[in-house]
């Protein structure tokens, strides 16, 4: 049996999305910057996709800029906001995705910013009181805090952070890669200035995403070129990727309630069966709290064992695909920076299981059985 439980890394392409993309792979191949009929047809399709995304997110089409994915979007918003508004002080957290964390540390190393880290509670949630202290001490800073953590699944109160940033005149950027397509975002109500999304996190194609840049907080371009994307991102657009992105988001919103219920049931089942079958099992962050974490992510904290370093390898041999943390560093020798920040010195094992609408109860039971067997525990119930 082959079981894919690494959907926070990437999701399988929805067949409906592929069908929407196909004409732009085979037939409608014009360059959208060309003024002839072939180009105009493709340009119209891109703008239709942009309009659809804007409608779903309750913003204007001009505030949606297509990119190659979440990493480019995060890098652009961070670098361009610093340059555009002359910002020197940045407030972030030690458990951001590497697209943010490494970008900020690189800027700090080059002497371009003063980086301030907000405190986290024992579960990894942002300490809102400390955030306000930092904002008082560093008015008009850049605040870069992710909506939901990709490893432990903690969900931040993005609306409250937006209100605080608005109160102190800060530029608020949020990496929303794990939540766009899984939660409904009303950008007319959330005071975020820039955020990032990637299509492959919600059953769209890889290599395409977008950034939302609020119209009253416009940025200077980070990627220069031919003036594409309203001169905000140079380079010929990934046309069929953009078409697939918009279709994937449309499907996600259309079927969201049904899929949330289905995936929450799977996650709840895995939590209970792990507790039954692995003595001493725990869960990192707040990932076992269905109300305070991504319903798509469960980060399992396993008892100490000499074989913990081989957990993922052994699961893979049994046909179960999971992760030890962020997929972007899955081949790295060093461990997860997120778990290192939250649990310094811990010798317990970690497996991140992440779910999608395509997973089944049978797959959950199989994964638990194989994981429990690694600890020589007889699976029951």
Domain ranges of the chain: 3-11+256-374, 15-251
Phi first, then psi: what are they for 155, rounded to 5°? Answer: -105, 130
For residue 346, the model assigns a pLDDT of 86
CB 67 within 8 A of CB 76: yes
For residue 375, the model assigns a pLDDT of 80
SS3 198: strand
Q: CATH second-level architecture of 3-11+256-374?
A: Alpha-Beta Complex (3.90)
Q: What share of the chain is helix, strand, coil (3-state, %, to 5)?
A: 45, 15, 40
CB 324 within 8 A of CB 300: no
What CATH number matches the domain at 15-251, 3.40.50.10860, 3.40.640.10, 3.40.50.2300, 2.40.50.140?
3.40.640.10
For residue 328, the model assigns a pLDDT of 60
For residue 380, the model assigns a pLDDT of 47
For residue 334, the model assigns a pLDDT of 57
Helix axes of 158-167 and 128-137: crossing angle, nearest 10 degrees: 20
For residue 327, the model assigns a pLDDT of 54
For residue 149, the model assigns a pLDDT of 97
Helix axes of 37-57 and 239-277: crossing angle, nearest 10 degrees: 40
For residue 326, the model assigns a pLDDT of 55
C-alpha dist (Å) from residue 117 to 52, 59, 111:
37, 30, 16
Closest CA to 292 of 144, 129, 121: 121
SS3 11: coil
DSSP code for 358: T
CB 278 within 8 A of CB 367: no
Residues marked active site are found at 328
For residue 333, the model assigns a pLDDT of 44
Where the chain has pLDDT below 50, the residues are 329-333, 377-381
């Amino acid at each position: 049996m082959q079981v894919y439980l690494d959907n926070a890394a990437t999701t399988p392409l929805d067949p409906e999305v592929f069908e929407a993309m196909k004409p732009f792979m085979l037939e409608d191949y014009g360059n959208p910057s060309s003024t002839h009929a072939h180009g105009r047809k493709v340009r119209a399709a891109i703008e239709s996709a942009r309009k659809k995304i804007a409608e779903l997110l309750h913003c204007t089409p001009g505030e949606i800029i297509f990119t190659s994915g979440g990493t480019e979007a995060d890098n652009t918003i961070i670098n361009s906001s610093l340059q555009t508004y002359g910002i020197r002080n940045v407030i972030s957290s030690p458990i951001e995705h590497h697209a943010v964390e490494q970008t900020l540390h690189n800027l700090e190393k080059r002497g371009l910013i003063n980086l301030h880290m907000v405190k986290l509670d024992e579960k990894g949630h942002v300490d809102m009181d400390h955030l306000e202290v930092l904002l008082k001490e560093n008015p008009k800073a850049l605040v870069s805090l992710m909506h939901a953590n990709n490893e432990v699944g903690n969900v931040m109160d993005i609306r409250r952070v937006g209100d605080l940033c608005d109160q102190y005149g800060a530029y608020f950027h949020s990496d929303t890669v794990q939540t766009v397509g899984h939660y409904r975002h009303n950008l007319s109500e959330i005071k975020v200035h820039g955020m990032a999304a990637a299509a492959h996190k919600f059953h769209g194609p890889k290599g395409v995403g977008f950034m939302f840049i609020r119209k009253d907080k416009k940025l200077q371009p980070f990627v220069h070129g031919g003036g594409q994307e309203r001169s905000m991102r140079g380079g010929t657009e990934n046309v069929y990727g953009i078409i697939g992105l918009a279709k994937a988001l449309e499907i996600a919103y259309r079927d969201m309630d049904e899929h949330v219920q289905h995936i929450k049931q799977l996650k709840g089942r895995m939590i209970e069966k792990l507790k039954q079958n692995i003595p001493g099992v725990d869960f990192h962050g707040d990932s076992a709290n269905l109300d305070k974490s991504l319903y798509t992510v469960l980060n399992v904290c396993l008892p100490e064992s000499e074989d913990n370093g081989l957990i993922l390898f052994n699961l893979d041999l049994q046909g179960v695909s999971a992760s030890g943390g962020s997929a972007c560093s899955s081949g790295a020798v060093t461990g997860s920076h997120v778990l290192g920040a939250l649990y310094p010195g811990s010798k317990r094992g970690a497996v991140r299981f992440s779910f999608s609408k395509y997973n089944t109860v049978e797959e959950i039971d199989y994964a638990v059985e194989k994981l429990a067997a690694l600890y020589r525990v007889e699976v029951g119930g």
